[in-house]
Amino acid sequence: DEIARTRDREFSEFRKRIKNTEQFKVTASVFDDATYGALYKLVQDGHIDAFGGPISTGKEANVYTALAGDSEARSASGQSGGDGEPRDEEVAVKVYRINASDFRDMRGYLDGDPRFEGIGSDKKKVVTAWVRKEFANLQRAQKAGVRVPNPIAVQRNVLVMEYIATEDGRAKRLNEVHIENPETAFEVVREYMRRLYDAGLVHGDLSEYNIVFHEGQLVVIDLGQAVTVHHGNARDYLERDCENVANFFARQGVDVTAEDLLATVTRA
């Protein structure tokens, strides 16, 4: 128990360190002990190091930046970078708030997903399943050739992923940028939707708010609610995604309807 004592001491020092981070003072109170535990484990496993500031405070989750831990920094240095400034030293950390989460709504997206059968209705279990689902969805999307943040690690209610950003900060969402060539952007999104669908996934919350523009590429984010095509509501979600995307690009002058988009996405 000498080891246990040391671990306890390290943990409480870690918690102090997070709490004292300037940008964190406001938000630190949202973390319960178990969330500190999850963050601590992610630090010990070398996925994250010091915390940066918040990027987003959402309804169910907050997103922060953090310095990448040793294991990420090592693997990142082995990657061939794209064009522009590599930002491999930072990661994005999405922390779900167990209590704020609308877990009733979450359940609806987990029900009927063969990957998460028998989760039950315990709030904590639902949220942690949700986070694992988001991680698995990112992996599946990536494998299908859809540009998404590279998933790095998942621990309890915390997801660590690639931070899509330049030195000017987080990549802007499509609703925040002027799109030079809407026709081309639309074709890319349509192709992403088709690839996702071919891989058996429907995003379920696709719109200009969950696609970011980064170094000439479009990157799809926020895949927590994405369901497999077997889900009872998959078709409804897909139709809604098609409406959001078609409406947005129609406003940008692209000649597109939700029906055409749906037909292209689901065409065998």
Can you give the binding site for ligand ADP, defined by CB under 6 A?
55-56, 58, 60-61, 63, 92, 94, 149, 161-165, 170-171, 173, 210, 221-222
Position of minimal CB gap to Mn ion:
222
Q: Which residue type does 71 have?
A: S
Reply yes or no on whether 205 is catalytic: yes
45, 88, 105, 222: the active-site residue = 222
Q: Which is nearer to Mn ion, 128 or 210 (CB)?
A: 210
Residue 90 binding Mn ion, by CB under 5 A = no
Reply yes or no on whether 102 is catalytic: no
Q: Which is nearer to Mn ion, 90 or 222 (CB)?
A: 222
Provide the minimum distance between the beta carbon of 94 and ligand ADP in the complex, in angstroms, as a whole number: 6
Question: Closest Cα to residue 27, out of 95, 122, 118, 99?
Answer: 95
Instruction: Please tell me the distance from the alpha carbon of residue 138 to that of residue 120, in angstroms, as a whole number.
Output: 24
DSSP one-letter string for 15-34: HHHHHHSGGGTTTGGG--HH
Q: Which residue type does 14 have?
A: F
Angle, in degrees to the nearest 10, between helices 2-20 and 33-44: 100
Question: Closest Cα to residue 115, out of 178, 217, 201, 176?
Answer: 201
Q: Which is nearer to ligand ADP, 11 or 144 (CB)?
A: 144
Which of Mn ion, ligand ADP, none does 151 bind, CB closer than 5 to 8 A by kind?
A: none
HSE-up (13 A, CA, CB side) for residue 117: 4
Provide the minimum distance between the beta carbon of 41 and ligand ADP in the complex, in angstroms, as a whole number: 20
Q: How far is CA 83 from CA 79, 162, 179, 215, in A?
A: 12, 16, 20, 8
Residue 222 binding Mn ion, by CB under 5 A = yes
Q: Which is nearer to Mn ion, 155 or 207 (CB)?
A: 207
Residue 210 binding Mn ion, by CB under 5 A = yes
- What residues act catalytically? 205, 222
Binding site for Mn ion (CB under 5 A): 210, 222
